[in-house]
Structure 1
Amino acid sequence: MLMRKTAALLLLSLPLALARPMSTLAQAPVQYNVAFPNAVHHEARVTATFRELPAGPLQVRMARSSPGRYALHEFAKNVYDVAATDSRGRALTITRPDPSGWAVTGHDGTVTFTYTLFGDRTDGTYAGIDARHAHLNIPATLAYAEGLEQRPAQVQFAGLPAAWTVATQLQPDAAGTTYSAPNLQYLMDSPTSLGEQQVRTWQEGGRTIELKVLHEGTPAELDAYAAQTQKIVREAAAVFGGMPAFDFGRYTFVANYLPQTSSDGMEHRNSTSLTSRRPLRGPGAIDNLGTVAHEFFHAWNVERLRPQDLEPFNFSQANISSNLWFAEGFTQYYGELVLRRAGIYPTDTEYCQEALTGLVNAMMLSPGAARFSPVQMSQQAPFVDAAAAIDPNNRTNTYLSYYYIGAANALALDLELRARFKTDLDTYMRALWQQFGSQQQNYAPARPYTTPDLQRVLGEVARDTAFAGQFFRQHIYGHQQPDYPALLAPAGLLVRPARPNKASLATRLSFNAADSTATLGTTTSGSPLYVAGLDREDVVLRFDGQRLVGSKAFEELLSTHRPGDVVQLEVRTRTGLQTVPVTLTEEPALEVVTYEAAGRPISKAQKKFRAAWLSSKVR
């Protein structure tokens, strides 16, 4: 445990050799100083200095959104004690034209803008500051000035406790004391972790991979974790045929596994922010590795192979995209597939249990998936991507995450390409990479893609434009369900009821121990309680004449019934007390199992198909 000390984060800037006009290169860089005199109370003191300014008010802003997040987060809410001075230290006039901005007037070409920042959430979106570490998402930390977005920046860390080191994708100088960013987009995309890092470094495909970790485990645990991460890195690279050309020759896993962190993963151009309170040992470790696999796959898909509607990222508003089903959903599919190919899921059975079963259930049982397309689900991101609201919603019946609807369609497409067209999704991803991801300029994709581009390349890979058009009409612009039992059969995998003949209400109940009742959440369209006219906040007093003393007793009560039985529910609704007849249904949950586990014979062709799909691709 660190003693409480004052730490400082100093961001200066030097010109970088960038491909942009000389007039931009000649402009004075933005300088930041971030100190932590009150870290134990989660405060930082931030000073931003803007020089060589044109006449007129300077508009200083905090970001409202963050790369990889699509909802508004209004980072200015944690900023206070704002002041500004000119080059001679004279106080300047500050006005507040809107909640996220400040207008500074009367300057002499220089503005030094100072504020206190509060941050106590360690994840990929916010800032987490305490006496032990500082995990900084830059949009939540640093103010910026309108019109200066193309100016370079340099980051220098000074005054830190002796044991603290730095994890960041910013470019260090030869002395390792200053870290550069070419422009605001890159700076904002560069999470930084300060603390007692444990470091593992290796070479992969001519690139340096860094694993910089804050955790409470042993070096041996980190060694084992790094070995698993290396397998993930290799399998992800095998999908695309090689590593990206990371801008400064390296990729950094900025990892924080301390108890005060929140579970999250956030992709960035040459790094990823990994946060979890789960340790590197025990059953939770595989969940941490799942985040590693997902986020590293983003180094290709979304960071370089990037949708046009997210380029460039706008920090002043919510960013909407029609392509998150591909950017996040296909990445979700590959994150789990990479774990199997790397042997982290050691058997096909475990892969079926941990990955495929969830995808098939999500698609086949979600009312939202039968209602809206992956494109439409992607467009919901500003409302659901960690967005906060207090009014109830009906997403139980209208929404399925673009992660899952995209991953489920990736699964269907991969299986169909393998079965019908003698190709696969890996080939599709490589073709997209060559056309839209491999060429970069000015730290951004030279040619971001559109949804029609994704359809066109699918037609090229399958050598069947009619198939590509049909797939997109039915499954991407439309919401037709894939036939998973038929698609999985060539791999010797079976879709079946998880609990056949088990009676169910197909709705979760919240049991109230104080009075032996149960409260309903939003009921699912088509479920027994929905059909019976019951909904959220209705309270079940008795089920078939019995009080509900808890979940275990309720399961025992259900076990005395069969699907199709009609039971009487005594309920308290908004209109008063009622007795409602409810027809029980079969438990809807499905599972994907291997033919071997189901006791079915499996052919050599099915074994070959499955091995070609799930086996390692590292040569």
Structure 2
Amino acid sequence: MDRGAGGGVRGGGVRRNRSATLALAASVLALSAGLAQAQTAAPVEYDLRFDDAVHHEARITVTWRDVGTEPLRVRMSRSSPGRYAIHEFAKNVYSVSAVDGAGRALTIGRTDPYGWTIPGHDGTVSVTYTLFGDRADGTYAQIDATHAHLNIPASLMWAEGQEARPATVRFRPVAPDWRVATQLRPTEDPYVFTAPNLQYLMDSPTEVSAHAVREWTVDDAGTPRTIRLAVHHAGTDAELDRFAASARKVVDQQIAVFGDVPDFDFGTYTFIADYLPYVSGDGMEHRNSTILTDTRSFAQADFDQLGTLSHEFIHAWNVERIRPAELEPFDFTDANPTPSLWFAEGFTSYYGPLTIRRAGEQSVDGFLADLGGTLGFIVNNPGRAYGSPQEMSLRAPFVDAATAIDPTNPTIFTSYYPYGQIIALALDLTLRQRFPGVTLDDYMRRMWRVHGVTEQPFTPDDLVEALAVTTGDRAFAEDFFARHVEASELPDFGPLLGQAGLVLRPARPEAAWIGGPPIRATGTALMVTNVPARGSPVFEAGLSRGDEIVSVDGVEMNADADWAAVVAARKPGDTVEIAYRQRGADKTTRLTFAADPAIEVVRVETAGGSVTEAQSAFREAWLGPAS
């Protein structure tokens, strides 16, 4: 298979300085007494009202008591757990006022866009502000007449120096049938919850609405843990029951991977789902909960929401407890980059669909169709020439729902989600090939026992160490990371997949292909829509983003159908003459079509061959029984 360049050799990869880690640990120990004292202080009190929900506004009051006499610095977060880029949440906060313990109005100073400074108080400060929110996803807030969907960093202020204090949060719903879904600790009052500190509070998304609930328990070595599914949707009870039954099967398969259930704080894990036409599709993991949003109903999506649910629940182990050292503790004032997202997100992306398949919720052929698409995307991805999985992980602050107005070159980035997914596939199949009885599940269990159960954040070196211990072969572990993680080489997947009686083959070998971005109608013109990949037919023809295609071999081009007809009539190796307009200049060029490099993975039986008994056993051990 194709082998990518870049990334460097061992020693050139990204490694965390262990002495720095030890120094950090010493600092944490030195601060522990002070933190314990802060945790015994009066809790921070939050009160949330939604009286003007129809205009997407919440009115929020936060009270700090016994804070001394120095000016109190309060602020909004700039980043959010599960996101790796900057998000300026203060932009949605306005009408800020403050009073002291006697109710006297306080002067508020503003020297930067992120927060407010409040001097002259009596040791108690109550700040009231308006929050605007109209985007329901894993990052922001949405407040309307149907619900209050709150990502907490996007919603709640906090005070510098008071992060260790516990918090009490009161929600005041606008309708009597609204209830609260959250990982915050419940109290006897169904609308009042608590958090032990700021880190936990910020990690606790909340849905206040007339949502439906399904729940069940799983056994954790004799201790029951509750799995709760809170769904705000417009579907039927029967549809929700069907979805809950599928979710339960997937949860069971994921527990089987790790051989253990996380010790969910307060005994419960909550899926918080909004499946409504006015939300934005997303999924966002948290320590004991996840946000799931989709614009489609169960019926419209044919229950496809199961894919996001599966991905996010894997995070209860991988990311939330098997945690990259760079994310702990989370910094709410800046981006939180780590070189290990290829593992944290990519290996999660591998197990999400795999556990759905093992649960019998997707056919083998359906799983292979999706796998082949992802494998082809990575094998043929031009971004691998510009960096390893570690390098792509470090670029998360530029791409993880981050926005910029200047155009960028999309061909130099390969998402760490599918990149890591294919590294996981390579490692799983290689382990099964070289080390009988050892699979990627064993590697994940090792990471769970050493870093998840103990909640000791891992470094890139720790990932290598876990593989060395799992296989008993340090040379193999170091070589695998040097070639496939610190550099961007891919293995030959043909023989690896062949163990399972699977065939890797071209998907459309006779189809003509131009590579790079699509050419499509934009307004009244046919345009090249983005920067082409280096070496692709479009690139070699000298075309680039924004070029207007005027004609092909003298035939005028005006609509998508015109270009589709050109491509359909050609085969690999054919050449056409293109007249185009580039930055106001009329030009001509010649474009030679290449063969479509798309690949697919199919069962050998589908390809006309016969599967052996050994291949069938391998396939079932990996993917589960055929359904």
Where on the TM-score scale, by shorter chain, does this alignment land: which range?
over 0.9
Aligned position for 1:6:
none
Question: Cα distance, 1:66 vs. partner?
Answer: 0.2
Question: What is the match of residue 576 of structure 1?
Answer: 585
The aligned counterpart of 1:459 is 468
Quote the residue 2:337 is aligned against.
320
Q: CA–CA distance in 2 between the matches of 1:197 and 1:515?
A: 46
Name 1:503's counterpart in structure 2: 512
1:530 matched to 2:539: yes
2:383 to 364, 368, 373: 368
Distance in 2 between the 1:148 and 1:566 partners? 68
Q: CA deviation at 1:589?
A: 1.5
Given the alignment, which residue of 379, 389, 393 partners 2:404? 389
Matches within 5 A, 1:35-184: 35-184=49-198
2:313 maps to 296
TM-score computed with the length of structure 2 as normaliser: 0.92
**Aligned equivalents of 2:349 and 2:434: distance in 1?**
24
Q: Which amino acid aligns with 1:530?
A: F
State the alpha-carbon separation in 1 of the partners of residues 86 and 254 from structure 2.
31
Alignment check: 8 A CA contact 1:362 1:400 kept: no
Q: 1:571 touches 1:578 (CA, 8 Å); kept in 2?
A: yes
Amino acid at match of 2:255: A
Q: Could you tell me how far apart the structure 2 residues matched to 1:566 and 1:25 are?
A: 72
Secondary structure at the counterpart of residue 51 of structure 2: strand
Measure how far apart 1:561 and its partner are.
2.0
Query: Secondary structure of the residue that 1:98 maps to in structure 2?
Result: coil
The answer to whether structure 1 residue 431 and structure 2 residue 446 are counterparts is yes
How many Å apart are 1:548 and its aligned residue? 2.6
Q: After the TM superposition, which residues 443-592 of structure 1 pair with which residues of structure 2 at under 5 Å, given as runs?
A: 445=455, 447-512=456-521, 515=524, 517-574=526-583, 576-592=585-601
How many residue pairs are counted as aligned between the two chains? Answer: 590
Find the aligned partners of 1:574 and 1:159 in 2 and give their Cα distance: 55
3-state DSSP class of the match of 2:111? strand
Q: Distance in 2 between the 1:514 and 1:278 partners?
A: 28
Contact preservation (8 Å) 1:235, 1:616: no
Tell me how far 1:554 sits from its aligned partner: 2.7
Call closer, same or farther: CA 1:85–1:515 in 2, change over 3 Å: closer
Task: Give CA-to-partner distance per residue, 1:346-386, whole Å, 9 cap, x none.
Answer: x21110112x1122112111111232101100000111000
Structure 1 residue corresponding to 2:285, chosen from 259, 264, 267: 267
| Residue range with higher mean Cα deviation, 484-493 or 382-391 | 484-493
Structure 1: how far apart are the matches of 2:474 and 2:323?
A: 23
Q: Following TM superposition, by how much is the alpha carbon of 1:555 offset from its aligned partner in structure 2, in angstroms?
A: 2.8
- The 10-residue stretch of structure 1 (503-512 or 336-345) with the greater mean CA deviation from structure 2: 503-512
Deviation at 1:93, TM superposition (A): 1.4
Q: 1:339 is paired with a residue of what secondary structure? A: helix
Q: Is the 8 A contact 1:71 1:319 kept in 2?
A: yes
Say whether the 8 Å CA contact 1:409–1:482 is kept in structure 2: no
Q: 1:250 to 1:560 in 2, by over 3 A?
A: same
Give me the whole-angstrom Cα distance separating, in 1, the residues matched to 2:283 and 2:243.
16
Question: Residue in 1 aligned with 2:275?
Answer: 257
How far is the alpha carbon of 1:514 from its aligned partner?
5.7
* Structure 2 residue 255 is matched with structure 1 residue 246: no
Distance apart, 1:65 and its partner CA = 0.3
Query: Structure 2 vs 1, CA of residues 179 and 513 (structure 1 numbering), >3 Å: closer, same or farther?
Result: closer
Q: What's the offset of the Cα at 1:616? A: 6.5
| Alpha-carbon distance in structure 1 between the residues aligned to 2:395 and 2:522 | 37
Contact 1:517/1:539 (8 A) holds in 2: yes
- Residues 403 and 39 of structure 1: CA distance in aligned 2, closer, same or farther (over 3 Å): same
Distance (Å, rounded) in 2 between the aligned partners of 1:487 and 1:309: 33
Deviation string, structure 1 residues 464-523 (Cα, Å, up to 9, x no partner): 110100010001111112212222111111221111121121234343376463334211
- Which of 291, 309, 316 does residue 326 from structure 2 map onto? 309
Of residues 311-320 and 517-526 in structure 1, the stretch that sits farther from structure 2 once superposed is 517-526
Identity %: 50
Shift of residue 22 of structure 1?
5.2
Tell me what 2:245 maps to.
227
Which residue in the other structure is 1:412 paired with? Answer: 426
Shift of 1:547: 2.1
CA distance in 1, matches of 2:523, 2:394: 42
Structure 1: give runs of 5+ residues left out of the alignment: 1-17, 440-444
**1:513 & 1:139 partners in 2: Cα distance?**
38
Structure 1 pair 74/365, CA: closer, same or farther in 2 (3 Å)? same
| Residue pair 2:50, 2:173 contacting (<8 A) in 1 also | no
1:281 match: 299
Deviation, 1:175, is 4.8
Native 8 Å contact 2:214 2:228 kept in 1: yes
Given that 1:491 and 1:609 are in contact with CA atoms closer than 8 Å, whether structure 2 keeps it comes out as: yes
Say whether the 8 Å CA contact 1:310–1:320 is kept in structure 2. Answer: yes
Distance 2:62 2:324 in 1: 32
Instruction: Give CA-to-partner distance per residue, 1:512-537, whole Å, 9 cap, x none.
Output: 37646333421111111101221111
Match of 1:363, SS state, is helix
* Alignment partner, residue 14 of structure 1: none
Paired with 1:370 and 1:145, the residues of 2 have a C-alpha distance of 45
- Residue 623 of structure 2 corresponds to 614
Worse-superposed segment, 18-27 or 83-92 = 18-27
2:109 aligns to what SS in structure 1?
strand
**SS of equivalent residue, structure 2 residue 177:** coil
Distance 1:306 1:514, change over 3 A: closer
Q: Displacement, 1:282?
A: 4.1
Q: CA deviation at 1:201?
A: 1.1
Distance 2:594 2:191 in 1: 65
Gap change, CA 1:606 and 1:453, over 3 Å in 2: same
Structure 1 distance, partners of 2:496, 2:33, is 48
Aligned mates of 1:431, 1:202 — CA distance in 2: 28
Specify whether residues 20 and 156 from structure 1 end up closer, same or farther in structure 2 by C-alpha distance, changes over 3 A only: farther
What's the CA shift for 1:574? 2.4
Equivalences for residues 326-365 of structure 1 within 5 A = 326-345=343-362, 347-354=363-370, 356-365=371-380
Superimposed CA distance per residue, residues 381-439 of structure 1 (whole angstroms, 9 cap, x where no aligned partner) = 111000010100012x2101111111110010000001111210000000110001012
User: Which stretch of the first structure deviates more once superposed, 173-182 or 473-482?
Assistant: 173-182
1:131-188: per-residue Cα shift (whole Å, max 9, x none)? 1101000000000000000000122333541111110001112454421100000000
* Residues 171-209 of structure 1: CA deviation (Å, up to 9, x unaligned): 112454421100000000000001111110111122011
Please tell me whether the aligned partners of residues 79 and 335 of structure 2 are also in contact (alpha carbons under 8 angstroms).
yes
Residue in structure 1 matched with residue 254 of structure 2 by the alignment: 236
Which deviates more, 549-558 or 246-255? 549-558
Query: What secondary structure does 2:368 align onto?
Result: helix
Deviates more, 1:273-282 or 1:376-385: 273-282
Kindly tell me: are residues 218 and 102 of structure 1, through their superposed partners in 2, closer, same or farther at Cα, counting changes over 3 Å?
Answer: same
CA contact (8 A) 1:503 1:559 kept: yes
CA distance in 2, matches of 1:382, 1:293: 25
- Contact in 1 for aligned 2:141/2:149 (Cα 8 Å): yes
After superposition, the C-alpha distances for 1:116-137 in whole angstroms (9 at most, x for unaligned) are 1100001110000001101000
Helix, strand or coil at the partner of 1:285: coil
- Report the alpha carbon displacement of residue 54 of structure 1 after superposing the two structures with TM: 2.0
Query: What is the alpha-carbon distance in structure 2 between the residues aligned to residue 609 and residue 547 of structure 1?
Result: 54
